[in-house]
Structure 1
Amino acid sequence: MNENKPWYLSKTIWAALVSIIATLAAFFGITIDDGLRESLSSGLLQLVTAIAGIITIFGRVSASTKIS
């Protein structure tokens, strides 16, 4: 692993967060099957990636200095 990436673009992090949420949901009597967990992890990662892209574009458009 020589590449660096932000934590929020990690599939492992999102899968772990969904597992934590599913465990808490089960505590309250709500069951989430494995297929839904996979879908939630994938969907959340896609959403976060899209938001990061929008923030990046907004940052570049609103910047007051040139890239050299």
Structure 2
Amino acid sequence: MTDLKPWYLSKTIWASLCTVVLAAASFAGVPTGGLEGGAVADGILQILTATTGLVALWGRVTARRAIA
């Protein structure tokens, strides 16, 4: 990995930021609009958090350039 790319082009950075935002939203109890039942909303946030965490791992494994 000798080529460099800006941080904002990194799949790993974006997926990690999304994971942090979703986890913080879940922790803070952000209202989820029209969803009925807290359990459904919590489940959706947990699924999205896990998915973005997996995307971050995938981004790191498939990276071809270092972040500048």
Pairwise TM-score range, normalised by the shorter structure: 0.5 to 0.7
- TM-score computed with the length of structure 2 as normaliser: 0.53
Give distance in 1, aligned partners of 2:17 and 2:62: 21
Which one has the bigger helix percentage? 1
User: Which letter does structure 2 place at the counterpart of 1:55?
Assistant: G
| Aligned structure 1 segments of 4 or more residues deviating by more than 6 angstroms | none
The alignment covers a number of residue pairs equal to: 47
Q: CA deviation at 1:32?
A: 2.4
Structure 1, residues 5-49: CA drift from partner, whole Å, max 9, x if none?
A: x43222013x37x73xx31xx2xxxx4210011111111000000
Which one has the bigger strand percentage? 2
**1:3 paired residue number:** none
Based on CA coordinates, which of the two structures has the bigger radius of gyration? 1
Stretches of structure 1 that go unaligned for 5 or more consecutive residues are 1-5
**Higher relative contact order (Cα pairs below 8 Å, separated by 6+ residues):** 2
**1:41 paired residue number:** 45
Give distance in 1, aligned partners of 2:18 and 2:60: 14
RMSD, aligned CA: 2.4
**Identity, % of aligned positions:** 9
Give distance in 1, aligned partners of 2:24 and 2:41: 12
- TM-score computed with the length of structure 1 as normaliser: 0.53
